[in-house]
Amino acid sequence: MRAVLASDSQTFGKSLSAVLSPAQPLQSPEFLRGREAHLYGIEKALYQPGRHVLIHGLRGVGKSSLAQTAAFQVAEKHDPIIVGCDPASTFLTVVREIFEEAEQEDPRLISKISEASAGFSNFGISAQGKTAISHGTVDDPSSLNEAVRLLSFVANQVGHRLIVVIDEFDLITDKRQQSLFTNLVKQLSDKRVDVCLIFCGIGESPAAIMEAHGSADRYFHTVELGPLEWEARQEIVSDAANRLGIKVDRDTIIRISKISDGFPHFIHFISEKLFWRIFEAQNDGVATPELFELAMEDAAASMDMRLKGPYERATQKYHGDTEPILWAVADGHEFVRRSRAVFDESYIRIMRDLGREPLDRDRFNQRINSLKQESHSSILYGSRQGWYEFTEKMIRGYVRLRAAQHGVDLARDHPVGPRFAK
């Protein structure tokens, strides 16, 4: 692995992309840490014909990775079909997209439709095998039955169970559309159509599915995903580092695990930034506190669009007062800090360095408490009386970056090394 670290950036980048995937869902169980039980549960559930899957949870917990890994694992001769939803998606457009993906896999589908003199007018497919833009609407009572016929036709032609992942299902909010999908699942199961649908969506998705039909739950294996457990978080970092020949100390691995809040995307993302810094340092592949700090700056800067909005909303009302308070909360390596320590050890020093008069303790308490409110993005929350931490750990890195941009030196973000950055 030393050769990878000594290679050019293109070779290292390709090697890095083979072990970390911050921008794409995973599709192999080899890298799907902490989800083994969920994956096995889906596999067992799908031995039962007529069973479908609903995966739900917070954004960023790895729903798409679990769905796609499960789909590739249970798919037989052909790769699974993967389609995504957006706010403009409807039942008809999603079913048509499933067909179009299947057609790319097997271009003969159109000719087979023609040979069978079959037509699916709601989806723009004529009996002659021609395709056109669909003018059908969800009000057409034949839409559901036609969708069942179309998917049955495709499954019969491919000759095995058709596995379909429908991602971002929560973006379809119209209850009529949701109802059509629920009834599609019921019809596919009741009519023994060899198609398995795997839905992905955020927390509200199960209610949307279940409310549309009283017996919908019998057709689903439901998986609720939460943040990764500690062991899985650390495995992602350490396994990727080992594969690249990089030496990461335990403190740094724990640091990344904490900052990520258990969201796989953040673990992959921060590790990517750190490993690049190590590669560029050419220091025999050793993670150092200084490289970790630089990597966190890289991560915060790269995520500016996601993190800037909450920061600006949190500071816009009392901009001159609240920014230094946020910087003070982010001072040092502790994730949870007592308000007295924030005030005495960090806030007073920061205001002195800025050449400004600090708030008195009562006004400071009012301001820091306001940062827990929705009007200030709920950027902080109190884990217990008088203690504060950032609601989303990644935004803590962004706060530190903004402090640096204002020339404010904060204590090290890593528990190893000098107390204060100079």
Vertex 219 angle, CA 85 and 223, to 5°: 65
Beta bridge partners of 220: 52
In a domain, 80, yes or no: yes
Tokens 């335990």 correspond to: 250
Position 30 confidence tier, pLDDT thresholds 50, 70, 90: confident
Q: Poorest-confidence range of 104-113, 293-302, 321-330?
A: 104-113
* pLDDT confidence of residue 213: 57
Domain assignment of residue 30, yes or no:
no
3-state secondary structure of 30: helix
Number of domains making up the chain: 3
Instruction: Write down the pLDDT at residue 422.
Output: 35
Closest to 342 (Cα-Cα) out of 314, 315, 322: 322
Cβ contacts of residue 289 below 8 Å, gap of 6+? 252, 412, 414, 416, 417
Residues 82 and 217 in one domain: yes
> Does 42 score more than 70 pLDDT?
yes
Q: Give me the sheet containing 195-201, strands edge to edge.
A: 81-84, 162-167, 195-201, 52-57, 220-225
DSSP at 125: B
pLDDT tens per residue across span 269-313 = 999 999 999 999 999 999 999 999 899 889 888 887 778 889 999
pLDDT at res. 121: 67
Q: Based on the fold, state whether residues 283 and 323 are members of the same structural domain.
A: no
Phi, psi torsion values for 229, nearest 5 degrees: -70, 165
Question: CATH no. for residue 325?
Answer: 1.10.10.10
pLDDT recorded at residue 91: 92
The torsion of the CA quartet 301, 303, 306, 310, rounded to 10 degrees, works out to: -40
pLDDT at residue 16 above 90? Answer: yes
164, 254: one domain? no
Clarify whether residues 375 and 291 are in a common domain.
Answer: no
253 vs 226: CA distance, rounded Å = 20
Residue 222 burial class via C-beta count within 10 angstroms: exposed 0-12, middle 13-18, buried 19 and up? middle
Residues 388 and 342 sit within 8 Å (Cβ to Cβ)? yes
Helix (H, G, I), strand (E, B) or coil at 221: strand
My answer on whether 243 and 152 are in the same domain is no
Three-state DSSP state, 349:
helix
- Does any domain span residue 208? yes
Q: Is the pLDDT of residue 129 over 70?
A: no
Residue 210's closest CA among 179, 187, 188? 179
CB 212 within 8 A of CB 182: yes
pLDDT for res 217: 80
Q: What percent of the chain has pLDDT over 90?
A: 51
* 415 within a domain of the structure (yes/no): no
> Model-level pTM?
0.79
Residue 209 pLDDT grade (very low, low, confident, very high; cuts 50, 70, 90): low
Could you tell me if residue 416 is inside a domain?
Answer: no
Retrieve residue 157's tokens.
Answer: 């032609």
Using alpha carbons, select from 302, 323, 306 the residue that is nearest to residue 314: 323
Apex CA 412: angle with CA 407 and CA 413, to 5°? 105
Q: What average pLDDT does this structure show over 327-356?
A: 94
Same domain, yes or no: 165 and 93:
yes
CA distance 56 to 67: 10
CA distance 24 to 41: 23
Asked whether 388 and 339 are in contact (CB, 8 A), the reply is yes
pLDDT above 60 for 140:
no
Q: Tens digit of pLDDT for each residue in 84-104?
A: 999 999 998 999 899 888 888
With a cut of 90, say whether residue 156 has pLDDT above it. no
Query: What pLDDT was estimated at residue 419?
Result: 44
pLDDT band at 141 (very low <50, low <70, confident <90, very high): very low
Residue 422 domain flag: no
Compute the distance between CA of residue 223 and CA of residue 356 in angstroms, rounded to an integer: 52
Structure letter (DSSP) for residue 246 = -
Domain residues for the domain of 202 are 35-225
Tell me the CA distances in angstroms from 420 to 157, 209, 326, 407, one per residue in order: 67, 53, 17, 14
Is 83 found in the same domain as 206? yes
Mean pLDDT (the chain) is 86
* Beta strand extents in 150-307 (DSSP E only): 162-167, 195-201, 220-225
Q: Is residue 418 part of a domain?
A: no
Whether residues 177 and 130 share a domain: the answer is yes
> 339 and 388: one domain?
yes
Confidence grade of residue 363 (pLDDT, cut at 50, 70, 90): very high
Q: What is the per-residue pLDDT for 382? A: 87
172 vs 111: CA distance, rounded Å:
32
Question: Between the CA of residue 89 and those of 100, 167, 172, what are the distances in Å?
Answer: 15, 11, 6
